[in-house]
Chains A and B, each alone.
Chain A
Amino acid sequence: MNAVLAERAARGTLFQPVDIGHPLYAAVTDPQTAFWALVDKNKVHEANRDPDLLAAYSAKAGQFEQELHALRFGLKPSGVYLNPTERCNLNCTYCYLPDTQRSSGTHMSAEILHASLGKLRDYFRSVMPADRKPRAIFHGAEPLMNAPAVFEAIDAFADDFVFGLQTNGTLLDDKALDFLTSRNVSIGLSLDGPVAEITNATRRTWGGKSVHDKVLRAMEKLRGYGSWSVITTCTTENLPYLTRMIELFHAHEVPTCMLNTVRCTLSGARGVKPADGEMAKAFFAAMDRTYELYQQTGRKLMVANFANILIGILAPTARRLMCDISPCGGGRAFFALAADGSLYPCSEFIGLPRFNGGSLLLGGVEAALDSAAFKAVTTRDVDKFSPCGDCAIRHFCGSPCPAEAFEMNGGMDKIGAFCDFYKEQVNYALRLIADGKADDYLWDGWDEGTETVFALS
């Protein structure tokens, strides 16, 4: 064992204990490497003196530290979120984009979109291996408000990007669905309630009309398609209905959903923010229901935001969602192109002008990545601010989201909006691992392409 680890173990500070609420197990972590172990809860305070655990860990600690550092600071962007319009036909309570943009903003022209994708293609070719394609996701406001430009771009750059589209679903007519599915575009929808009354509380048109049934129709048409998902934004309005959302999604054969906490970047969202404890209670009831449905039917409904917490624990480099890591993926694993041609670290920042990293066509990606606007996000490090810097699970959580921390809590060196909820998610995930159930919450073959580099069991 190297001298630093030996000294930390001797001082009893190498492994930090975590009560995960399991009858037999507690966790210990070395947060510096995102290492964890589940140990007999009655022996947890002996972990720093356990010769077998210390020997096994010390043999790998350096490798884990390098891996985590590379994941946190060594990535090059491999995805872009494209906002082809500022406009949206809905006026959702919690949107992170300003009302004025969504109601009366502009579309990006087809010519500018084409030129932008050309420049982005060239950038990604310069930083990505030749055998990997970058992802380009058309994104909110509502990208199908500018469908002609979007569809033209998808066909023009079919060989250069893997495309996705996140939409409110209200403009997904048969023609649009045929176009997107025939080109294997990954499609994300949004629905907040199991019945119209609940969805209407947060998601409706500018005139107050319901969109619930339109989204259900889109879901029905997508049944059987290989690559689609639905996002539910969890608020005070729908928290009692999350279990029913799971039942609805499972019945519609939705392969993947997200039960996201509302992002509290703008003030409208904070008015429907659930308390952490209430969020955890409703969320875990919904997770328990996914497990029951899987046991009953043999078919999984993956809750991607929780699955990502699990994967972040089991295989840190295999995480798909780049919010739950510090620094987050904004401005380093991906970035966003706004409809006015400006680059932002993430779409979440598009309503905040101070995070504008400059024009794609005039300045380019590298200039944006090096800009002070991007650096403010890409240097947000949970190791360096309180209380995260002392937290045993800080690299399973990442204290998302920097936009919320900045706008809601007063700075990049502040915690995110749902600190206690993240702790409870990690505890729940570790309990599943202790009980041998983790794979039941992940898609089959999730670890293909991974190598087991540590195993005690």
Chain B
Amino acid sequence: MSQTIKQTVNAPQTTPSQNAPVAPTIAVRKSCNPDGIGLSHYVLMDRKAAK
């Protein structure tokens, strides 16, 4: 079986409009001590359930 694999993530095409309101920027990042050990054959998502 063969597939065509795209080489890059698509860049957006823009259509500027001077009068349209600008959507506010959204960016969030959280951080913690890493302790994940799941893999595709098994995963326990909820940390509390492991204790």
**Contact between B26 and A42 (Cβ–Cβ < 8 Å)?**
no
Check: A193 CB closer than 8 A to any chain B CB: no
**Contact between A81 and B29 (Cβ–Cβ < 8 Å)?**
no
Q: Which B-chain residue is minimally distant from A264 (CB atoms)?
A: B1
Check: A154 CB closer than 8 A to any chain B CB: no
Q: Which residues of B lie under 8 Å from residue A70 when comparing CB positions? A: 34
For the residues of A in contact with B, the DSSP-based class is mixed
Find residues 9-43 in chain B having any chain A CB closer than 8 Å to their own CB. Answer: 9-17, 20, 22-43
**Contact between A140 and B29 (Cβ–Cβ < 8 Å)?**
no
**Contact between A317 and B1 (Cβ–Cβ < 8 Å)?**
no
**Contact between B26 and A321 (Cβ–Cβ < 8 Å)?**
no
Contact of B30 among A318, A346, A392 (CB under 8 A): A318
**Contact between B43 and A454 (Cβ–Cβ < 8 Å)?**
no
Q: Which B-chain residue is minimally distant from A39 (CB atoms)?
A: B25
Find residues 31-89 in chain A having any chain B CB closer than 8 Å to their own CB. Answer: 35-45, 50, 52-53, 56, 60, 64, 67, 70-71, 75, 77-79, 81
**Contact between B27 and A443 (Cβ–Cβ < 8 Å)?**
no
Check: A197 CB closer than 8 A to any chain B CB: no
For the residues of B in contact with A, the DSSP-based class is loop
Find residues 5-41 in chain A having any chain B CB closer than 8 Å to their own CB. Answer: 16-20, 24-26, 35-41
**Contact between A320 and B45 (Cβ–Cβ < 8 Å)?**
yes
Segment from A98-106, A202-210, A289-297, A445-453 that makes contact with B: A445-453
Check: A132 CB closer than 8 A to any chain B CB: yes
Check: A401 CB closer than 8 A to any chain B CB: yes
Provide the bound-state CA to CA distance between A164 and B12, in Å.
44
**Contact between B11 and A445 (Cβ–Cβ < 8 Å)?**
no
**Contact between B49 and A186 (Cβ–Cβ < 8 Å)?**
yes
**Contact between B40 and A260 (Cβ–Cβ < 8 Å)?**
yes
Q: Which residues of B lie under 8 Å from residue A328 when comparing CB positions? A: 39
**Minimum distance in angstroms from B19 CB to a CB of chain A:** 11
**Contact between A186 and B45 (Cβ–Cβ < 8 Å)?**
no
**Contact between A53 and B47 (Cβ–Cβ < 8 Å)?**
no
Check: A238 CB closer than 8 A to any chain B CB: no
Contact of A447 among B10, B30, B36, B45 (CB under 8 A): B30
Q: A36-B27, A75-B34, A166-B42 are in contact. Are A43 and B22 (CB under 8 A)?
A: yes
Contact of B11 among A18, A36, A256, A457 (CB under 8 A): A18
**Contact between B29 and A457 (Cβ–Cβ < 8 Å)?**
no
Q: Which residues of A lie under 8 Å from residue B29 when comparing CB positions? A: 35, 60, 64, 314-316, 452-455
**Contact between B30 and A315 (Cβ–Cβ < 8 Å)?**
yes
**Minimum distance in angstroms from B18 CB to a CB of chain A:** 10
**Contact between A78 and B44 (Cβ–Cβ < 8 Å)?**
no
Provide the bound-state CA to CA distance between A56 and B31, in Å.
17
**Contact between B31 and A315 (Cβ–Cβ < 8 Å)?**
yes
**Minimum distance in angstroms from B31 CB to a CB of chain A:** 5
Q: Which B-chain residue is minimally distant from A277 (CB atoms)?
A: B3
Provide the bound-state CA to CA distance between A43 and B7, in Å.
24
Q: Which A-chain residue is minimally distant from B46 (CB atoms)?
A: A443
**Contact between B39 and A329 (Cβ–Cβ < 8 Å)?**
yes
Check: A333 CB closer than 8 A to any chain B CB: yes
Provide the bound-state CA to CA distance between A20 and B11, in Å.
9
Q: A276-B3, A450-B30, A452-B28 are in contact. Are A45 and B9 (CB under 8 A)?
A: no
**Minimum distance in angstroms from A32 CB to a CB of chain B:** 14
**Contact between B28 and A433 (Cβ–Cβ < 8 Å)?**
yes
Find residues 291-350 in chain A having any chain B CB closer than 8 Å to their own CB. Answer: 302, 304-305, 307-308, 314-323, 328-330, 333-334, 346-348
Besides A45-B14, A317-B31, A322-B36, 8 more A-B contacts (Cβ < 8 Å) are A16-B9, A40-B23, A67-B31, A314-B28, A318-B32, A346-B39, A423-B6, A456-B27
Q: Measuring CB to CB, which residues of chain B are less than 8 angstroms from any residue of chain A?
A: 1, 3, 5-17, 20, 22-51
What are 28 A-to-B residue pairs whose CB atoms are below 8 Å? A19-B9, A26-B12, A36-B27, A42-B15, A42-B16, A60-B29, A64-B29, A75-B34, A135-B37, A227-B44, A227-B46, A258-B43, A275-B1, A276-B3, A315-B32, A317-B33, A318-B30, A320-B45, A323-B38, A323-B40, A387-B5, A445-B46, A445-B48, A447-B30, A448-B48, A454-B27, A454-B28, A457-B25
